[in-house]
Structure 1
């Protein structure tokens, strides 16, 4: 311990083993180029809109480039999946710009790849009691998305700076969104040992700037119902010749689908949401699968007010994260399946905010190195009621089972709801 109050010093001992023929080093990029604000005094994610752009110079002997994207909806975009199409926004208690979001990466203004993001619900989102003590999946570590920029290598390796842009767009006619999303990324670059310039050309370029979308709906009596759908298909091919003379034919495809249906019943006393985002990314280099990403993100939410002023309500959230991913040659492939059914009751009173919540979660993980992990865990009113772990990555000893606390209503923070509504003291 030191003499300073609230300060301690720890010593960590670790042993590292040199790689060998039996234990070769892990695959890694030869160069990583950040796609961020490059700020060194704050977080370096960029806030969009407007579109974020920067110029990067890729080494002339680059032969592969993979881009990892990060995107997080915040502020008035925290509940983007609950936003209403602009033609219906005056009839429901939420923001406009619709519920569809697409994260795009562009090279010199040309779309190179996109992602339909997973809907992350943060710990104060909708009903805080639903996320105690188990947060929703992704709330503490949001997923990233990988696209293959290798088809653009013949352009990127000409020795000149090139513009890399990130943005998030909607299904509205002007593709506008609210404020804001935080976005960033990196380029993982593989170099040819010859140090000679890479050459080649893009042979197929079918990458529409925006998804194909459709919006339908109806306002009848005291109810509002609408559905937004979107699809985006990308197909890019290129022939690449390294300085060493190796020839590679690259095929990069994305096939993505999205649907969001919302029902506002009895003057929005009941709000129902049914959303699915599914799709696949695939890249082959000389016919060999190099990047694979197949995903399904279903999300169903029910928010029902119990009193006219909305200060008391119940919520049910049923969502899943299912993903089979092998994000390029530098990372392990994995299969992740996560399902969470959570809900709760929230009430604002003169003496504070109270409620109760339940959560049931099933998670499984398998990777291409043979590692496995599975967990089933449930909670009621901030207490773990069941917890079972298994697999090669599970702890050898089961964690101690906590004592169940008193069966009283939880005292909780304010509830954040779609449309920037805040309920609670």
Structure 2
């Protein structure tokens, strides 16, 4: 089989000196050939709290099985004043895109482009349906920024060099809106759930999960347990957040919550022109539910649910269940034989060294920690025999909030790390058929130092570093077949000056850098870097860390960090 590579070229013109949105992220690599294009909507105006509906019709002339399906969306906002807004695109209740928007300036009207690999959602696109774009936006005499957007789907026909992808046979959204919207999760007990009548021949099942912090939970990563909130002058509710997946009320998996920071977050100037990690284009976390395949195939309705442990008004969530069916057997039978997650509630350990002296000065640290190792195993009797699937994961959360508070200075340092180490194994008889390893690291460091000045103003120096690290590896029969690594890091700092009414007077010293790197065992390589100072791009490079100074990735890989599909990682 011929493996076609895609060389990714640098932009036609250098962004150095520009104040427009500039990121180091790769675009979605494409197979050779001309795609069929389906426009979802064109130059819609988002200036109120209404959805923007559209009708979808499958493409013609490209068949019904494609090598790749890509969403492209373009956004812009007029110069003026506007908050960061949440944007999403839907079809038949299934999320196609989820992210937030860039904030404008008084003389800055930014525009940006996002892409999402939707190949795994091909089953959704074979039938006509109704969709909508959701981007609620307040426009009045104060908030003047009007947002515009367009979106389209690109379908790449299967060919000899780019065969049709092995994709799920059915997609089931979680949520109450048949066209599509997020579900609000106000507390740990709030659930996003769907009771589904599934096929009786499920072989594999995966759940793509998005959990976005909103409202009181926007800065959840800086909060502390309620008993310390007043003393350290911080939000309560704690800072442990984790999405819990259940099937028929039984714990079935865990999805870590990424600490996305929006373009108005903490210090809005840090994120101009480069936003934080995935800020404009969230990536879902994929949970392997294959040990439950035999149970899900038994012909009874099953309820799949997601809640966010620690949610404190609130999280906005969506999820989609991806199901592979046995093409040669109408009835798959099986059961879950062990599930150690069911006996491990997500209860973190809290510690504190915070003290207050006689002058009222507060110093010390508050720690929040939780680590769980669990194994879920189930079997399914399929057309090719009994397949035993084991999901073995360790999920961990470690957070330290350090405080130094005096009458004139408030200094808080937040250090957080969420990690996942996991492996999914499928076994037929005594032989391991395939093994898929996936690990994730979500490091976050926020240093916030607010000083009361003698003139009544407040000076706030903020330094932030956030990262997204992902490793995937596939082995067949004990032999390594493929591995890939993604590293995305954004660092930035700025000093704000606020008056006594906490209105912005000025800012200074803005600087930020994003570094993005991808590499895989096939020799694929992508690197990108962008730096800014005083809110304009000062340095930009692409491909510098790759052989020959050029990015080169294979069309079927995922350099952007979008999820792989276990045994369906490669297209054959």
TM-score, structure 1 length as denominator? Answer: 0.81
**Corresponding residue number in structure 2 for 1:181:** 315
2:28 is matched with: none
* In the alignment, structure 1 residue 210 sits paired with structure 2 residue 363: no
> Is 1:270 the counterpart of 2:404 in the alignment?
no
Match of 1:250 in 2: 389
Q: Residue 39 of structure 1: CA displacement? A: 4.1
Q: Is the 8 A contact 1:269 1:305 kept in 2?
A: yes
Q: Which runs of 5+ in 2 are unaligned?
A: 1-42, 46-149, 477-481, 554-572
Contact 1:146 1:327 in 2 (8 A): no
Aligned position for 1:321: 468
Say which SS state the counterpart of residue 137 (structure 1) adopts. Answer: coil
Q: Distance in 2 between matches of 1:239 and 1:310?
A: 65
Q: CA deviation at 1:210?
A: 2.1
Equivalent residue, structure 2, for 1:342: 492
1:212–1:232 contact (8 Å) kept in structure 2:
no
For these two proteins, the number of residue pairs brought into alignment is: 375
Q: Does 2:542 correspond to 1:376? A: no
Describe the superposition over 1:367-399 as per-residue Cα deviations: whole angstroms up to 9, x where unpaired.
Answer: 57754310121100111111110156579xxxx
- What is the rounded CA distance, in whole Å, between the counterparts of 1:293 and 1:273 in structure 2? 26
Any idea what the Cα deviations from partners look like across 1:309-359, whole Å, max 9, x if unmatched?
773211011222111136999xx9742112222000112249954213100
**Alignment pair present for 1:193 and 2:327:** yes
Structure 1, 114-123 or 302-311: larger mean CA deviation: 302-311
Match of residue 167 from structure 2: 28
Give the drift of 1:145.
1.0
Instruction: State which of 425, 446, 453 in structure 2 corresponds to 1:301.
Output: 446
Determine if contact 2:232/2:362 at 8 Å carries over to the other structure: no
Distance across 1 between alignment mates of 2:165 and 2:475: 13
Q: CA deviation at 1:245?
A: 4.6
Instruction: Give runs of aligned pairs for residues 208-247 of structure 1, distance below 5 A.
Output: 208-220=343-355, 221=357, 222-224=361-363, 225-242=365-382, 244-247=383-386
Q: Which residue of 2 aligns with 1:355?
A: 507
Matched with 2:184 is: 47
Match of 2:205 in 1: 65
Deviations 1:159-206, CA, capped at 9 Å, x for gaps? 111111111013xxxxxx311111111111111112421011222111
Q: Taking structure 2 as the reference length, what is the TM-score of the superposition?
A: 0.61
Structure 2 CA distance for partners of 1:6 and 1:252, relative to 1, 3 Å: closer
Matched, 1:148 2:300: no
| Residue aligned with 1:153, SS | helix
The 2-side partners of 1:152 and 1:18 are apart by 32
Shift in alpha-carbon separation, 1:6–1:161, aligned structure 2, 3 A: closer
2:93 aligned residue: none
Per-residue deviation, 1:292:
2.7
Q: Provide the aligned C-alpha RMSD in A.
A: 2.9
1:334–1:367 Cα contact (<8 Å) kept: yes
Are 1:338 and 1:364, in contact at CA under 8 Å, matched by a contact in 2? Answer: yes
Shift of the 261–6 alpha-carbon distance from structure 1 to 2, 3 Å rule, reads closer
Moved more, 304-313 or 383-392: 304-313
Query: SS where residue 221 of structure 2 aligns?
Result: helix
Query: Given the superposition, is the C-alpha separation of residues 16 and 125 from structure 1 closer, same or farther in structure 2, using an over 3 Å criterion?
Result: closer
